[in-house]
Amino acid sequence: MLSAMTAFSLAACSPGGSASSASAAAAEASASAASTSSATEEVFEGTAASTTLFSLTYPDGWAVDETMTSDSSSYCYMELTLTGEESAAAQVNISASKSDVRNYRDRLRGAGIDAYDLVETKNLDMVQVGGVECVEYMAESWYSSSLIYLGRDEASGITVSIDIIGDQEDPGIQTMIRSLKFTLNDSGNVDPPWPWQGEPFSADARHTLNAGNYTVTVDWMKLEDPLIAYDIFSGRVEMTGDTVWVLLDNYLYEYQYSQDGLTYVSEQALGNEGDYEELSSDRNGKLYVSGFMEQMLIMEQGEVTGRIEDVDRALVHPNGTWGISSFFGQPLRKVMIDGETAQIEDWELRSAEETTKGFISENHVCITGTSEDKENVAVWVFDTDGNQQYEFGNTDMNEEGWMGAITDVIETPNGYLVLDGNMRNLLFYGTDGTLLATVDDEELFLTAYPWISSGCLMPDGSILIALTEERADESAYELLIYRLSGF
């Protein structure tokens, strides 16, 4: 009977997988147990174990790892192992968390489970485990595969997970799963809408404001379909000609730019290529896509035309012949590009300890990091020969120009625009390095609490800025794009 239960693989829930006879039998066993319990409480032989949020019985030969047990009113976790001659032959991990719905939805996505299919079309079979409707899937790691049941009880606000590792044919697993009961007290919790049910972000299309002596116009570039962001820090924006590129959650989106907005053209997943984080371009229209320990992709008109090894996370100069590569706590590196090869050397403009990230423009290289002298966040501006020109920031918290976490620096004909993701503001510096103004996100973008992640200079001198903002109904984060003109 257990062999049926442990396979539990719902074909529709496990991408690329197929249902086994064990899966069908498991569902039947679960239904049978529910029917039995409605008539008379089933008695299980073994040792009873419980936490605040669940209880179960485990048979002889199994043991609770007390060092890996948590028990509180909001989170409970238990590991049970079947001990073999040399190591655990099987393991069952059970967790219950009273929390918001984000973790549950993130785990569905991470498992490749289509939430719309789960919720709306209902074409994924569900299994009741411990009183909670669960979806089932297989997870693979370098050392093992595991069978996972994941569910959410909305009324109590509890997310549950059962992870079976190793010998899934062990009969004791059936006892534990059938005896498992989650403590589900209706707290009146109501989860936010799913992304497709929620109300998209909305704001005035255009407004103006003063930044020092400049009158800045901000246009919200509304997209035809909202871009849902899962990694709120991942959004990058770049422009080649009249094409706007957005890198988000390892997808590359292409939009046609016009004064009135952005028109969707295409999208492509980059997962088969690697995990990508940065976008840059040259004046010949080539797009460079890079990521930590990944090949740099050279793209033209949305197609990969070249790959460069060992570049890591890098940004390319507009002339396309060189660039910079940066990583937290490491010296800046100069990347000399020749076709699909690159020579890389350390370019220690600031100490490794001070270096967090580098940015590049036509005439300057900028480094952001924490200064050794004052231990404050700063931006250092260098010419392309490596001579320092300016220092921005490096001030204390209560002083003008204090910075939190710099996500981008864009040079314009009138100076430098510094994006501070942590403080949710933009700092405007003149061409002589003077701080002209600091303007917060609410005034600029009519947002509440965004992560300002990226910007790029447009051919007409305006700036495109990408940020993520949570919707008012908490149904999703959206990536928003603004055009800032006049500086």
Confidence of residue 459 (pLDDT cuts 50, 70, 90): very high
The larger pLDDT score, comparing residue 32 to residue 168, is at 168
| Distances, alpha carbon 26 to alpha carbons 71, 137, 177, in Å | 29, 13, 10
**Residue 195 identity (one-letter amino acid):** P
Token pair, residue 147, equals 């069978």
Name every residue whose Cβ is closer than 8 Å to that of residue 242 and which is 6 or more positions away in sequence.
256, 257, 258
Per-residue b/e over 128-140, b at no fewer than 16 CB within 10 Å?
Answer: ebbbbebbbbbee
Residue 416 half-sphere exposure toward CB, CA atoms < 13 A: 29
E strands, 421-461, in order: 425-430, 435-440, 451-457
Residue 10 pLDDT = 36
Segment 366-390 mean pLDDT: 96
DSSP 29-53: HHHHHHHHHHHSPPP--SEEEE-SS
Residue 244 pLDDT = 98
Over 60: is that where the pLDDT of 307 sits? yes
Cross-strand pairs, 358:
367
Name every residue whose Cβ is closer than 8 Å to that of residue 43 and which is 6 or more positions away in sequence.
none
Using DSSP's 3-state secondary structure scheme, residue 166 falls into: strand
Over 80: is that where the pLDDT of 15 sits? no
Segment 137-154 mean pLDDT: 89
Segment 4-31 mean pLDDT: 40
Contact 253, 224 (CB under 8 A): no
Residue 87 pLDDT = 58
According to DSSP, the β-strands at 451-457 and 243-248 are: unpaired
Residue 34 pLDDT = 46
* Separation of alpha carbons 59 and 57, rounded Å: 7
Lowest model confidence (mean pLDDT) among 12-16, 117-121, 373-377: 12-16
With a pLDDT cut of 70, the percent of the chain lying above it is: 90
* CB atoms inside a 10 Å sphere around CB 280: 23
DSSP 304-349: EEEEETT--SEEE-TTSSEEEE--TTS--EEEEEETTEEEEEE--S
Contact 273, 297 (CB under 8 A): yes
Can you give the C-alpha Rg of the chain in angstroms? 27
The larger pLDDT score, comparing residue 5 to residue 103, is at 103
Over 80: is that where the pLDDT of 392 sits? yes
Residue 40 pLDDT = 65
Domains assigned to the chain: 2-182 (no CATH), 206-485 (2.120.10.30)
Confidence of residue 16 (pLDDT cuts 50, 70, 90): very low
| Distances, alpha carbon 397 to alpha carbons 400, 401, 455, in Å | 8, 9, 25
Cross-strand pairs, 336:
322, 343
pLDDT per residue as tens digits for the range 50-101 = 999 999 999 998 999 999 999 999 999 999 998 765 556 789 999 999 999 9
Signed CA dihedral, 370, 372, 375, 377: sign only: negative
Over 70: is that where the pLDDT of 9 sits? no
The larger pLDDT score, comparing residue 343 to residue 84, is at 343
**Residue 370 identity (one-letter amino acid):** T
Over 60: is that where the pLDDT of 29 sits? no
Largest Cα span, the chain: 82
Name every residue whose Cβ is closer than 8 Å to that of residue 286 and which is 6 or more positions away in sequence.
240, 298, 299, 300, 305, 320
Distance spanning both ends of the chain, measured CA to CA:
71
pLDDT per residue as tens digits for the range 195-228 = 999 999 999 889 999 999 999 999 999 999 999 9
Residue 123 pLDDT = 84
Residue 7 pLDDT = 34
* Separation of alpha carbons 369 and 355, rounded Å: 5
* CB atoms inside a 10 Å sphere around CB 75: 17
Mean pLDDT of all residues belonging to the chain: 90
Token pair 């069908």 is found at 24
pLDDT per residue as tens digits for the range 274-285 = 899 999 999 999
Signed CA dihedral, 36, 37, 40, 46: sign only: positive
